[in-house]
Amino acid sequence: MSTHNPELQPPPHLPPNEAIQPEAPDFVETPDMTPGLGEHEPLPVWLYLVCGFALFLAGTSFTGFATFGLGIMDQGPGGAAISTAPTTEVAETPMSLGKRFYSGNCAACHQASGEGTAGSYPPLGGSEWVIGNKERLAAIVLHGLTGPITVKGATFSAMVMPSWQGSLSDEKIADIMTYMRATWGNTANAVTTDEVAAVRAKYASHSSPWSEAGLIKIAPNGPDPSDKK
């Protein structure tokens, strides 16, 4: 009698597609890889050196260290500013500032020459209002002027002189006054920021443009008491 041992049974017949196929390739060929691509090759040493040097240069822009005296990238504290402007910069004076502020704010009406325009804008060169009392002049600039006013013998009344108290600082007004008083043949003395500030404070409640009569009340024609020439 035969004992049937199931463990000794021959393997079940495999379907042909699972059976070993001797003709099939035993590995799937992968396409040729470009050598180096995707591999982590060490970076060349020179690249580290170049990057390191670039970082060093960038760092010097913070420390103000002038690289080899070239001042490359110098913009940080202590470094020479990158500038093509001539190094001999002329220091600003009240006169040079005053000229600039005058050009920007006043010359449109009174002209760069300070001659004004006959019949509408009175002249500033030789004007008794410009070379006279400083308080009076500051008052004109701060609050403006309206109505007939006699300047160098001619009467002006067609236009209104605007007020500048809202748009020009005491310092700028002082610079403009200093410039006007020493230009176009004028030779009156300079005006300080404090002098303008005092006039601004004194007439703080004065909101309308001055009239000639109001200005004459501040001071009559004639040089300012501080003008000792």
- Contacting positions for ligand HEC (CB under 6 A): 105-106, 108-110, 121-124, 127, 129-130, 137, 140-141, 145-147, 149, 151, 156-157, 159-162, 164, 176
Closest distance between ligand HEC and the C-beta of residue 80, in Å? 38
The residue ranges of DSSP E strands in the chain, in sequence order, are 149-151, 154-156
Closest distance between ligand HEC and the C-beta of residue 115, in Å? 10
Closest distance between ligand HEC and the C-beta of residue 225, in Å? 19
The DSSP line for 74-91 is: --STTSPP---S-S-PPP
Number of H helices, E strands in the chain: 8, 2
Pairing state between β 149-151 and 154-156: antiparallel
Closest distance between ligand HEC and the C-beta of residue 157, in Å? 5
* Residues in CB range of 51: below 8 A, 6 or more apart: none
Q: Return the number of the residue (66 or 182) whose C-beta is nearest ligand HEC.
A: 182
Pull the structure tokens for residue 178: 């200093």
Q: What is the rounded distance in angstroms from the CA atom of residue 88 to the CA atom of residue 81?
A: 14
